[in-house]
Amino acid sequence: MSFTTFGRFELAAVHSGTFRLDGGAMFGVVPRNLWQKSNPPDEKNRIDMRMRTLLIRDGDQLILIDTGVGKKNHPKFQDIFAIEFARYSLADQLQLLGIAPEEVTDVILTHLHFDHAGGAVIQQGGSLALQFPNATHYVQKEQWEWALNPSERDRASYFPENYQPIADASRLEILDGETELFPDLHLKIVHGHTFGQQLVRLVDGDQAILYGGDLFPMVSHIPEPWIMGYDLQPLVTLREKQQILAEAVENRDIIFFEHDAEADAALVVKDEKGFRAGEPGPLADVVSMAGK
């Protein structure tokens, strides 16, 4: 593992585990005979997915976007979602980069679903503790309030033990709206998947890398109608995708995929069939390609 340079930043794709979700739920109204070509399901109709976080080094700052599911879940829960850490775990991957959890200065949580925020809190000596004890953790106000009182439709995605300890430790900063959180690091707020999801946009001149979160979780979600059945407001998701994809094509922006089983990132291209990913692959290769 190594860092890739993008403008003022050094970046590393950090893998925090693998899991599987139902393919039908991941692609909504798209028929199985289409999505199974790119994402073949297992005998339980689940597709392979990865939990991929992004580590950003900017001078003395070490910024982590999302934290994966974490290791404190019940074995039955891990079996349902086929969660595995045999090849990847967040702490081990950071160690390969020479980074200790205590060195992380900032954790940006796109939203508080278990597969994005679960790794922020660990079991330690029989009690809950922060995996990144010295980091400020950022979440949007609208998402925080929703996580404290979710609907029956999405209640199963929110576990208070993943985020309440952050607030209890006074390590939570609640943001309200789009902002340039740090120089050249912007937060873009989207509401289709869940309310107040914050996507991180790293800017270098006229070009950007967008951390796709659950707006663009996988390469397969680049085409406009490929929208998750999990999304609370799918038509809002559609509008958000259309706007961001048009900008990505115009500016040669890169989209970083949190859940794709293979590719870290891709440029976006548009042809007569619509938007699609152009040559997805490792982050370093895509950044190099985008600079040509």
For residue range 227-252, what is the model confidence (pLDDT) as tens digits? 999 999 999 999 999 999 999 999 99
For the segment 87-96, the average pLDDT, to the nearest whole number, is 91
Place of tokens 């009182």: 149
Task: Provide the residue count of the chain.
Answer: 292
Cβ 80 vs Cβ 69: under 8 Å: no
Q: Is the pLDDT of residue 2 over 90?
A: no
Cβ 101 vs Cβ 94: under 8 Å: yes
Question: In percent, how much of the chain has pLDDT > 90?
Answer: 95
Q: Is the pLDDT of residue 203 over 70?
A: yes
- pLDDT tens profile 47-67: 999 999 999 999 999 999 999
Rg (CA), the chain: 18
Q: Is the pLDDT of residue 138 over 70?
A: yes
Residue 65: its pLDDT value, please?
Answer: 98
Q: Residue 149 phi/psi, 5° resolution?
A: -145, 65
Residue 153: its pLDDT value, please?
Answer: 95
Average pLDDT of the residues of the chain? 96
Residue 181: its pLDDT value, please?
Answer: 98
CA geometry: angle 237, 241, 194, nearest 5 deg: 30
For the segment 16-42, the average pLDDT, to the nearest whole number, is 97
Confidence of residue 292 (pLDDT cuts 50, 70, 90): low
Euclidean distance between CA atoms 268 and 253, whole angstroms: 7
Euclidean distance between CA atoms 73 and 76, whole angstroms: 8
> Left, alpha or beta for 195 (phi > 0: left; psi -120 to 50: alpha)?
beta
Cβ 212 vs Cβ 219: under 8 Å: no
Residue 291: its pLDDT value, please?
Answer: 79
Place of tokens 């019940």: 74
Q: Within the chain, how many helices (H) and strands (E) appear?
A: 9, 16
Domains of the chain: 4-290 (3.60.15.10)
Query: What are residue 188's DSSP bridge partners?
Result: 199
Cβ 197 vs Cβ 140: under 8 Å: yes
Residue 211: its pLDDT value, please?
Answer: 98
Where are the extended beta strands (E) located within the chain?
A: 4-6, 9-22, 46-58, 61-65, 106-108, 121-124, 127-130, 136-140, 172-175, 179-182, 185-190, 197-204, 207-211, 254-256, 265-271, 274-281
**CA dihedral of 128, 131, 133, 136, whole degrees rounded to 10:** -110
- pLDDT tens profile 99-133: 999 999 999 999 999 999 999 999 998 899 999 99
- pLDDT tens profile 159-187: 999 999 999 999 999 999 999 999 999 99
Residue 88: its pLDDT value, please?
Answer: 82
For the segment 139-152, the average pLDDT, to the nearest whole number, is 98
